[in-house]
Amino acid sequence: MTQQPTMIGLTLPDVATWSQRVSVALGQNPGLFTGPGTNTYLIGTGRVRILLDTGQGVHEYLPVLERAMQESGCEALQEIVLTHGHPDHIGGALQVMERFGALRVSKLPHAGMDGHYALDIHPLEDGSVIETEGATLRAIYTPGHAEDHLCFVLEEEGSLFSGDNVLGVGTTVIPAHGGDLLDYLNSLERLLALEPSRIYPAHGPCIEDGPGKIRAYIEHRNDRERQILAALTDLGPSPVAAVVKHVYTDVPEVLHGAAALSVTSHLVKLESEGRATREDAGDGDPQHARWRLS
């Protein structure tokens, strides 16, 4: 899962070179939550390079990856590195290895996510370094969108591979399972402190003003929080759907499902801060609860 369906209609070229060290092959998995599809990156300057993320495992991806390798002078893959275990990032790993032979697959291990795939995961953690000719990647632990999420600094450029934490267009979904808005905001602050020159997102185009984009993401969440607090003040105790209707007046109702996910993530954060309280519907699902200010 990645971003809200505001990115429908955006298209990107299948293959592109974004810097001397970074080429992109589009995962061929466009959709409601993936926009133009997952960006998979060839990283390095040598004949053998790192592949960061693998798309979803769709048939049409391999020829695109081969073309990206050819056009960038990459003759073989050194290894696979994954930002996290959502299916549109890890799902193509097996087919890449069926085509190119066994490769080391590295990520932050997470039994609940990796267990679905027959992969022997090489464990990464915060601070892990992966090197190839012309490129050094350093892992930054950034939970919030997913519990196993890593971003990677490309040391030679001071740039950042942001995975699903910062996107080229739209905003990041905080899923009900594995998502945590408070963690996510802390991760954004951590990324902002790195002052990345540019950001290579997992979906959407290259971001030229890294710090500006991260600041806009933080402000967007702060605005939403203020609107949700104002809605609960106006409405009194309310179900999530009523808060959505009150806050998202300019958004068509077809998108209110995605908006409910976002509002719920805010309410759970406010609850953990002692600022909102839920009346549980009996199923433990925060999206079904009634909410009020504490």
Residues 110-149 that bind Zn ion (CB under 5 A): none
Nearest to 112 by CA among 178, 33, 34, 182: 178
- 3 state SS of 130: strand
**Contact track, Zn ion, 30-69, x by CB under 5 A:** ----------------------------------------
Q: Which stretch binds Zn ion (CB under 5 A): 41-49, 65-73, 156-164, 281-289?
A: 156-164
Provide, rounded to whole angstroms, the least separation between the CB of residue 18 and Zn ion. Answer: 20
Do residues 178 and 87 make contact, with C-beta atoms less than 8 angstroms apart? no
Q: Which stretch binds Zn ion (CB under 5 A): 4-12, 51-59, 162-170, 228-236?
A: 162-170
Cα angle at 129 between 110 and 35, to 5 degrees? 60
Q: Which stretch binds Zn ion (CB under 5 A): 3-11, 48-56, 164-172, 249-257?
A: 164-172
Task: Report which residue's Cβ sits closest to Zn ion.
Answer: 86
Q: Provide the 10 A C-beta neighbour count for residue 211.
A: 15
SS3 content of the chain, % helix, strand, coil (to 5): 35, 25, 40
164: contact with Zn ion by CB under 5 A: yes
Among 49, 86, 107, 138, binds Zn ion (CB under 5 A): 86
Provide, rounded to whole angstroms, the least separation between the CB of residue 120 and Zn ion. Answer: 22
C-beta of 29 vs 72, nearer to Zn ion:
29
Matching residue, tokens 């600022």: 275
Distance CA 280, CA 274 (A): 16
Q: Which stretch binds Zn ion (CB under 5 A): 17-25, 62-70, 161-169, 213-221?
A: 161-169
In sequence order, which ranges of the chain are alpha helices (DSSP H)? 61-72, 87-90, 93-100, 111-114, 181-193, 210-235, 240-247, 256-272
C-beta of 33 vs 291, nearer to Zn ion:
33
Which chain residues interact with Zn ion by CB under 5 A?
A: 86, 164
